[in-house]
Amino acid sequence: MELTRRDEDMVAVLSLSGRLDLANGNTLKDEIKTVLDSGKTAIHLCMKDLEFVNSSGLGAMVSIMKEIRLRRGRLTLSDMADYVREVFDITQLSHIFEIFPTEEEALHSYQTAAQI
């Protein structure tokens, strides 16, 4: 799995590519901790190039969600391949994650929330 980070105003945008599984769940957790420690608590994960996720990867996702909530932050996801979305739906994790069709829509939601 590869992770690239860029900042869009108040939101840290991480792009995931490759596989999210037992071998690299900790990489994601460590990167999220780094982002949170840098003071950013609004995090968006773009999953456009994520090819595969299994239950170990889902476990890492739940772990980072808990960590972000603990810091009173917000996590959004977008651009899931149909197959990845299906895994989130089967496990009902789509109920606890904010999933947007596109990154643009996800980032727009932060602007809207900031205006309220």
Point out which residues bind another protein (CB under 8 A).
19, 21-23, 52, 54-56, 58-60, 62-63, 66, 83, 87, 90-93, 95-96
Contact 39, 71 (CB under 8 A): no
Q: What CA–CA distance (Å, rounded) separates 24 from 39?
A: 24
Residue 70: CB minimum distance to another protein, A:
12
55 vs 111, beta carbon nearer another protein: 55
Q: Specify the residue, 89 or 104, whose C-beta has the smaller distance to another protein.
A: 89
